DNA sequence: CGTTATCTTGACCGTCGTCAAACAGGGTGG
DNA sequence: CCACCCTGTTTGACGACGGTCAAGATAACG
């Protein structure tokens, strides 16, 4: 564990700033948090649902997903995690954990002692606000996924996932034919949208045949971005990018920091 | 709008206490919030997704649900709301709203000016913690619903919804044959679990035929609670009842309240 | 370079959606 | 108090979307 000032947690700040304004003071307070660095191999579990983790995990590099399973071994992926994201914000507010998190690619993770982060959140309301804003966006994504899984057909579900992933990777203005890297297998796509990997394959093949998509290995290009969005019924509003609460005055609270 | 001390918001406190310890000071601060009382008829919209509501709504009596729709008119219910629940906690942290809320029965609702509640939340961290804990439980329910809709068959989905609703209504130890009142139509059940109302009906009829359920109007009795849970794969852990973060010391913050 | 994971395709089948029509129930007004 | 209407429930016949099973091709990886 290190208390040295370092920029390892910088991706976390960047992510928070997608949805909130983070002051320099807050940034420094976060960067000063103690943490342990860990490397998690592909396919390895990052967090289990049967305990109350003592650490808050933040992905610095790589991709992960949260999932739940039924007794008979079926799996539902409920969320994909991108670099900078804190994996268990819930930890700060509820005691027990209720799902599993697994590394999708090799991941670099910062583990912050829960007590330290909770202490910081209590003393700096603005940081709580930032973390919770991120959790609220996750909630919004959950709602969107429910709509997709519950009420759209296979084509739309797969298309929607591709659209969301592309936008979340930060390519807001995706150029026609712009390439991006898909870290998930067709099995995982299926587990996320409630289909079998076989049917995901059929859908992807169809998109390629129709000239909507180009795919080589895990590299994907959108040849007809408009059409893909249309098939998906995609509208990025639910991602709340650049959607912070404005005009909130934290100055009262800035006066009595603990650090 | 009234600033008089009153107990109208008492159901809100009760609900918060399901997941958090709420001190008497916090309770009083919440009860002292200004609010407007409104009555919303069945089927009427409570909140729309196209604006940034100036009020935080709390259901005092009745039931409501949140939903999203596709372009071609399909609807997915993403959440049911019970008395005491705050409907748009997200409002405190993000600017824009992303779904619709509708009254399922005639509802009595308290509308608190967003600014007032946000001000209180900023000055009393413990209240923020309580509100966010509630939002986190909602998130956990979203994840569970995704598993149900994405990976379970029709019987399990309907059974799961019934189990969840019964437990959430507070009947933790449900007596065999204990009756409870279901406020939703079969159409709404279908919209919540990703089925048509027709198929929901087939499933319910089957449960009745098998002697698992008794139904008369909106009154439902569980004749075989164990079996229903088993069909559903239901485990109430995800509801996080009585699962607050313990041993957190808010005393530092209690010293400098704004009020 | 061998081994394992992932992808791909085809044939077949089942769950659940669609369409249609009858039935119950509960509020409202005459 | 009855007649009416609207909303919600119930049932049947039929079809389709996507699951299942199986087997071969390709790619990833040590």
pTM, rounded to two decimals: 0.93
For domain A3-144, give the CATH number. 2.60.120.10
Tokens of A152: 């759209």
For residue B183, pLDDT over 60 is answered with yes
| A173 vs A178: CA distance, rounded Å | 10
For residue A184, pLDDT over 70 is answered with yes
| B131 vs B110: CA distance, rounded Å | 16
**Backbone φ, ψ for residue B143 (5° rounding):** -60, -40
- Going from N- to C-terminal start, the domains of chain A cover 3-144, 152-239
Three-state SS at A179: strand
Reduced DSSP (H G I as helix, E B as strand, rest coil) percent helix, strand, coil of chain A, to 5: 45, 20, 35
For residue B210, pLDDT over 80 is answered with yes
**Residues B91-108: what's their mean pLDDT?**
94
| A28 vs A32: CA distance, rounded Å | 6
For residue B246, name the pLDDT band (cuts at 50, 70, 90).
Answer: low
| B249 vs A217: CA distance, rounded Å | 52
The better pLDDT of the pair B179, A207 is held by A207
Domain A152-239 = CATH 1.10.10.10? yes
| B174 vs A170: CA distance, rounded Å | 49
Which nucleotides of strand D are protein-proximal, with an atom < 7 A from a CB? Answer: 7-12, 17-22, 27-29
A212 and A228 Cβ atoms separated by less than 8 Å:
yes
For residue A1, pLDDT over 50 is answered with no
| A146 vs B142: CA distance, rounded Å | 8
**Residues B148-164: what's their mean pLDDT?**
98
DSSP H or E segment with residue B205? helix B197-209
For residue A169, name the pLDDT band (cuts at 50, 70, 90).
Answer: confident
Could you tell me how many residues make up chain A?
A: 259
Name which of B78-87, B101-110, B174-183 the model is least confident about. B174-183
The better pLDDT of the pair B100, A51 is held by B100
Preferred mutation among B136, B146, B153 to probe A, highest tally of A CBs within 10 A: B146
* Number of other CB atoms surrounding residue A193 within 10 Å: 24
- Tell me which chain B residue has its CA closest to the CA of residue A121: B125
* B202 CB and strand D closer than 7 A: yes
Paired strand residues for A64: A81, A103
Cα distances (Å, whole numbers) of residue B144 to A16, A97, A169, B149, B171: 26, 13, 26, 9, 20
Tokens of A231: 């098939």
Any B CB within 8 A of A145 CB: yes
| B124 vs B253: CA distance, rounded Å | 7
Give the CB-side neighbour count of residue B17, counting CA atoms within 13 A.
Answer: 12
At residue B1, the pLDDT reads 45
Any B CB within 8 A of A233 CB: yes
Nucleotide D3 C1' to residue B109 CA (A): 36
Name which of B62-71, B137-146, B171-180, B248-257 the model is least confident about. B248-257
* Number of other CB atoms surrounding residue A212 within 10 Å: 20
- pLDDT per residue as tens digits for the range A144-165: 999 999 999 999 999 999 999 9
**Residues A17-45: what's their mean pLDDT?**
94
> Exposure pattern of B220-242 as b/e (b: 16+ CB <10 Å)?
bbbebbebbbebbbbeeebbbee
Which nucleotides of strand C are protein-proximal, with an atom < 7 A from a CB? Answer: 5-10, 15-20, 25-26
Contact criterion met (CB < 8 Å) for B98 and A250: no
* B205 CB and strand D closer than 7 A: yes
Q: Which residues touch strand C (CB under 7 A)?
A: A 185-187, 197-198, 201-202, 204-205, 215; B 153-155, 194-196, 198-199, 217
- pLDDT per residue as tens digits for the range B114-130: 999 999 999 999 999 99
Could you please report the per-residue DSSP string of A186-239?
HHHHHHHHT--HHHHHHHHHHHHHTTSEEEETTEEEES-HHHHHHHHT--GGGG
**Residues A253-258: what's their mean pLDDT?**
41
- pLDDT per residue as tens digits for the range A197-243: 999 999 999 999 999 999 988 889 999 999 999 999 999 999 998 77
At residue A175, the pLDDT reads 52
Report DSSP state, residue A87.
S
Torsion of CA A183, A133, B88, A162, to 10 degrees: -20
**Residues B54-61: what's their mean pLDDT?**
94
Listed in sequence order, the residues at least 6 apart from A22 whose beta carbon sits closer than 8 Å to its beta carbon are A13, A16, A30, A126, A130
For residue B175, pLDDT over 60 is answered with no
| A199 vs B27: CA distance, rounded Å | 53
Nucleotide C7 C1' to residue B231 CA (A): 34
């Amino acid at each position: 564990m290190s208390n040295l000032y370092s920029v390892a947690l910088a991706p976390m700040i960047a992510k928070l700033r997608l949805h909130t304004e983070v002051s320099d003071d807050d940034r420094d307070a976060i960067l000063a948090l103690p943490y342990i660095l860990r490397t998690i191999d592909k396919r390895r579990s990052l967090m289990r649902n049967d305990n109350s983790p003592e650490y808050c995990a933040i992905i610095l590099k790589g991709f992960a997903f949260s999932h739940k399973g039924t007794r008979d071994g079926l799996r539902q992926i409920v969320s994909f995690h991108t670099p900078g994201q804190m994996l268990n914000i819930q930890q700060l507010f509820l005691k027990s954990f209720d799902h599993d998190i697994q590394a999708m690619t090799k991941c670099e993770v910062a583990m912050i002692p829960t007590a330290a982060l909770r202490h910081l959140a209590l003393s700096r309301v603005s940081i709580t606000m930032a973390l919770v804003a991120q959790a609220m966006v996750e909630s919004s994504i959950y709602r969107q996924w429910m709509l997709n899984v519950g009420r759209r057909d296979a084509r739309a579900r797969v298309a929607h996932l591709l659209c969301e992933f592309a936008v979340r990777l930060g390519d807001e203005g995706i150029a026609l034919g712009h390439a991006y890297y898909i870290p998930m297998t067709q099995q995982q796509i299926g587990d996320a949208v409630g289909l079998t990997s076989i049917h995901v394959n059929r859908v992807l093949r169809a998109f390629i045949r129709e000239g909507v998509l180009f795919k080589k290995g895990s590299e994907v290009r959108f040849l007809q971005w408009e059409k893909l969005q249309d098939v998906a019924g995609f509208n990025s509003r639910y991602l709340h990018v650049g959607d912070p609460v404005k005009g909130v005055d934290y100055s009262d609270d800035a006066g009595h920091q603990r650090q």
